[in-house]
Structure 1
């Protein structure tokens, strides 16, 4: 039996909803963790289950415990925090402050902000390379990706972080979030106000566009084999499937209304998508599942081909809180039984 949890950031409720999964088709909502006002972005976890989420309207991030399912503390950062990146090694967390036009560096041993890096207007979500040397940040308000050299964090020198380049997307495109493909060679960018996905060569900074036909790009994830990029397109309630090698759209998958967050469980090829819409936005004649807002749509990616428009996918639904904007996965089996027991005992003592 698997021991997986999905964490849905529910903006309108001020909570993180937790959905437990013990196997394919075996889901149940087990908790809602109150955090700060207007939480945004996916929870970022350390390997030992410390999770962090932005409280956009309170200029803080909340730490939550993946085992005890409680809020542990709040850490002050800049104004309007919206996106985060966990630096490999779990010592530092980067937080994009959309209201301060900066990136906070948070020391997770000291549990405090120790530095801020100026950026362009309204930075949003980011990605960090597997070697912990480079970060790419969506600068939503100015239409470019800020590429940062963060290798100085390896020597505990946050003041040494520098901007390598500004990679143009389009000033009116409003790049929102991005993800680095499993090979580390390409960065896929979802743009909220452009009808294309931007793909960046991680080494040369050269860009290409992949036309999806509609505005409203929100999140990017990849299939476990790395062959396909999945992009949520909020305005049309679909997930677009892009061949990573050819950069062609090979299929689109109808999902629930207003999809934003996206994560794929590599254990069984299931995609989880948050339906952010505050009202039902079904598109008739497009084979959309009859699911409402404020839910997770689950799509069995192995139930139909991804590389061609053939067959119908198998779906499920679980309701979460209001305004779910992001979803992430944490595997409790990566923690030892002793660590899980210690964390639960610590939480009960603190209570």
Structure 2
């Protein structure tokens, strides 16, 4: 049965979002590019109703995009240098980290306007929201810690001014925490550090931290296997995805991918991972054995080799997108209301 899944690649150098349709395993086709603002960064965040949002870092705005019409709907002004986003359950509020303002914006998605900014420290980047929507964990890249925000006032009383920073969990001043992911059980936060040779793991209940050595700097993106047993971490400097056991915190293996991997997303329906290759050069010139082009996603069949041990080679393929892909997210259009799905069908057949 054909699927209506689309992947949205944030292409920083193009100022666009590339749209890739997926009909089934290995059946991919780039079908469109959506023009947004200058230097888009971070993955597109989608509401359940299909509103997509992406940061325009050089223009101090976020763009809303329509995943059916593949158009930009509007721009909303936020702080300086927006980089990362977090969508609260219920799809009423969006958090935006402003790397130039040292704040997190709270955007009301019913009014389509920023309503408050929360100070968090120097140069915040990417974030994660707890499943209950009551906590945000924000990488503060310039200060070397993860900021925890209490969102209870926003969730219970729609009180944006009541959102407060309740903890600063140290990573290291020189580690530069870049992005993070909350494991599906909600017990641990995995933090990718751009200037440390380790991944930081935070216990959500106690704020106790652990270090998982990967041997190289350049941590960028975090995702999880469909069963939640393994964390997947992109390491840009060595062009690999490292696999970490969520329970034991042991590194179980690594997966070679394209040059300069940053963002990644996993399609749980067929255990396929998609990794953005941000490197602007062709690695064959310096490493002929690496058969990867720039401006691509590396598609990894996670079921083609074990994740828990170094055995076998994963099946991979390149997927061409726009220039400077830094992040990728997916959206299942089959989750849209029938009227929206019909609108997509009409668009594709005309």
Matches within 5 A, 1:232-243: 232-243=234-245
Contact between 2:232 and 2:244, CA under 8 Å: does it hold in 1?
A: yes
Q: Does 1:340 align with 2:337?
A: no
Q: 1:173 to 1:341 in 2, by over 3 A?
A: same
In structure 1, what is the equivalent of residue 313 of structure 2? 312
1:343 Cα shift? 7.5
TM-score scaled to structure 2, two decimals? 0.96
In structure 2, what is the equivalent of residue 79 of structure 1? 80
Matches within 5 A, 1:4-153: 4-153=5-154
Q: Deviations over 1:92-121 (max 9, x none)?
A: 000000000101000000000000111100
In structure 2, what is the equivalent of residue 303 of structure 1? 304
Contact between 2:262 and 2:326, CA under 8 Å: does it hold in 1?
A: yes
Q: Deviations over 1:17-38 (max 9, x none)?
A: 0000000010000110000000
Contact between 1:258 and 1:281, CA under 8 Å: does it hold in 2?
A: no
1:284 Cα shift? 4.2
1:66 Cα shift? 1.1
Distance 2:255 2:137 in 1: 27
In structure 1, what is the equivalent of residue 174 of structure 2? 172
Distance 2:62 2:161 in 1: 21
Contact between 1:7 and 1:19, CA under 8 Å: does it hold in 2?
A: yes
Unmatched tracts of structure 1, length 5 or more:
none
Q: Deviations over 1:223-262 (max 9, x none)?
A: 0101100000000000000001110100000001100010
Matches within 5 A, 1:117-266: 117-154=118-155, 155-266=157-268
Q: Secondary structure at the match of 2:122?
A: coil
Distance 2:344 2:255 in 1: 39
1:317 Cα shift? 1.3
Q: Secondary structure at the match of 1:299?
A: strand
Contact between 1:76 and 1:113, CA under 8 Å: does it hold in 2?
A: yes
Contact between 1:250 and 1:309, CA under 8 Å: does it hold in 2?
A: yes
Unmatched tracts of structure 2, length 5 or more:
none
Distance 1:284 1:241 in 2: 23
Q: Secondary structure at the match of 1:30?
A: strand
Q: Deviations over 1:143-196 (max 9, x none)?
A: 000001011112110000011100000000000000000000000000000000
Distance 1:120 1:310 in 2: 43
Q: Secondary structure at the match of 1:2?
A: coil
1:318 Cα shift? 1.1
1:281 Cα shift? 3.2
Contact between 2:334 and 2:341, CA under 8 Å: does it hold in 1?
A: no
Distance 1:78 1:41 in 2: 15
Distance 1:46 1:108 in 2: 10
How many residues are treated as equivalent by the alignment? 344
Q: Deviations over 1:200-219 (max 9, x none)?
A: 00010000000000000000
Contact between 1:221 and 1:262, CA under 8 Å: does it hold in 2?
A: yes
In structure 2, what is the equivalent of residue 3 of structure 1? 4
Contact between 2:82 and 2:99, CA under 8 Å: does it hold in 1?
A: yes
TM-score scaled to structure 1, two decimals? 0.96
